[in-house]
Amino acid sequence: MNQQTLSSGDYVVFAIYFIIVAGYGLWVYKRKHNADATSKDYFLAEGSLTWWAIGASLIASNISAEQFIGTSGSAFKMGLAISTYEWMAAITLIIVAVFFIPVYLRNKIFTMPQFLHERYNSTVAMIMAIFWLLLYIVVNLMSILYLGALAISNIADININACIILLAVFAVVITLGGMKVIGYTDVIQVAVLVLGGLVAVYLALNKLSEYTNTPGLVSGLNYLHDQAKDHFHMILKKDNDNYMDLPGLSVLIGGMWIVNLNYWGCNQYITQRALGANLKTARGGILFAAVLKLLMPVIVVLPGIAAYVLHEKGMFHKEMLSSSGVLDPNKAYPSLLSLLPSGLKGLSFAALTAAIVASLAGKANSIATIFTLDIYKKAINPEATDKKLVNLGKMSVIVAMALGVLLSFVIGEKLMGEGKQGFQYIQEYTGFVSPGIFAMFILGFFWKKATSNAALFATIGGFIFSCFFKLCPRFIDLSFLSPYGFSKLALQDDKVTKLYEIPFLDRMGFVFVLCVIGMYIISKIENARGVVPNGLVVDTSMFKTSRAFTAGALIVTGIVVALYSIFW
């Protein structure tokens, strides 16, 4: 029998988890559902979510298969450095809470396309609404479904296609209840994923401590550090094999800021959780999410490093091989779960499922929100009633999930199958559009002279610039950018050729700067011609924070600084 196959006790634990989440979701729906609820109430849970529900929902929506499987796989390969996505996000969340959320709430912005419509024009808003729908379905839904199903298939010995379908159905059931159900069930999902993740880490460290004379958690952690010292550096040097993924100081002063600020501040999927609350509640929830972010590397990074050390000690050789016999980092976390006894393995299995389903539900709700409020109501049927919009939103959830399932069947294995780092794939290819979008948002927030044509330039030009910096090193000598990349030998047209590559985080930084410069020039030209852009209400009083929030933000920032100082 497969060592990782679940026992009957594991299925009992998983069934209890499923019943609790489904039952609580049904209770929330019946208690808080209003037959005459507005579309904003359904999609945004306007005024209904508490700070702790917002914070938990933010993390539940963010932590999914790409973290449990992809990040653990990257940790197996490159170590603690991959934690930069989590710890830098904690600082980013504070910035979003202080500067971004007040702008959205003061101007009554409920969706990202709505922001673009009010700040620029309907053309920019519609282009980006359609783009976001495609991105969320083709990249996000598909990747979450496929990576999640791949992990569950490895653990439970269930056909991967069946896993994809079951995950989609579970997520649809949660999503159809609206944002209230998603927000409050996410509290349970986060509790389960944190508990299950900590159990897996605890037992992995205990297993490592068996190689020492003093078994125990601390002994296992010290042994892990001693055996994998090269895996405990946050800033990678240029001679590191993983430099292309995390290029040194760029994680502190370069493209990582664009990744995080765009994801946490300009992303319907994330900001939607806070847009239905008042400023105090929204900020409290985001600060709570920042605190939880500090904990995430313990749950999704340490397991990958532990799997690396155990693999070096002779374990998991069979479990971590792909079907073609190649070492597959994405199997690090599922392999680690094979150490768990019956019952606890079911808990960790439930934690993984919770992370996947919560992310799927959040993504599907955002797809329904954008399609219903920003495309259907604005361009197709402006007179649609709230009841019709809610029903259409439910239908769009089912259609979007069905498309995600179909894409997972057709191209999931090709893009994120065995041997590939799914997490890095998602980050790099989302990065083709992030710099332009972030430039458009940040200037739209804080520079009233930015025009609609400048925003269009950032949207389209940012993608073109990203493609240029990705492809042109094959044809053009960019060695003058030597501090930001390196050359390598490659076989091209049956000849050994020296190719110059730019790490994608640095590439994002270059593109962002070019987009800002382009927007500035275009806006200045149009301003001189008498074009007066639409402005938002922005004043310095909006950015004042309470003493409690300031104290919490300083504590979080101090912890991040300390972590980077210790593990530099």
Q: Residue 474: which residues within 8 A CB-CB, separation 6 or more?
A: 492, 499
Q: How far apart are CA 501 and CA 473, in angstroms?
A: 6
Is the pLDDT score of 500 beyond 70?
A: no
210: confidence class by pLDDT, cuts 50, 70, 90 = confident
Is the pLDDT score of 46 beyond 70?
A: no
Q: Judge whether 301 and 67 are in contact, CB under 8 Å.
A: no
Segment 50-78 mean pLDDT: 79
Give the residue, 471 or 370, on which the prediction is more confident.
Answer: 370
Give the residue, 334 or 516, on which the prediction is more confident.
Answer: 516
* H-run or E-run covering 492: strand 486-492
CA angle 297, 142, 418 (to 5 degrees): 65
Is the pLDDT score of 92 beyond 90?
A: yes
Is the pLDDT score of 211 beyond 90?
A: no
* H-run or E-run covering 499: strand 495-501
Sign of CA dihedral 45, 49, 53, 58: positive
Q: How far apart are CA 462 and CA 459, in angstroms?
A: 6
pLDDT score at 178: 66
491: confidence class by pLDDT, cuts 50, 70, 90 = very low
pLDDT score at 39: 61
CATH superfamily of this structure's domain 8-422 = Sodium/glucose cotransporter (1.20.1730.10)
Q: How far apart are CA 433 and CA 419, in angstroms?
A: 26
* 453: Cα separation from own chain's centroid: 30
416-470 residue pLDDT tens: 655 555 555 666 667 788 889 899 999 988 888 999 999 999 988 888 888 887 7
Domains in the chain: boundaries: 8-422, 431-537
Which pTM was predicted? 0.81
* 156: Cα separation from own chain's centroid: 25
Is the pLDDT score of 87 beyond 50?
A: yes
pLDDT over 90 percentage in the chain = 14
Is the pLDDT score of 35 beyond 70?
A: no
For 379-383, 398-402, 429-433, which range has the lowest pLDDT when averaged over its residues? 429-433
Under DSSP, the state recorded for 120 is: T
pLDDT score at 526: 92
Is the pLDDT score of 499 beyond 60?
A: no
Q: What is the mean pLDDT of the chain?
A: 80
Segment 485-501 mean pLDDT: 51
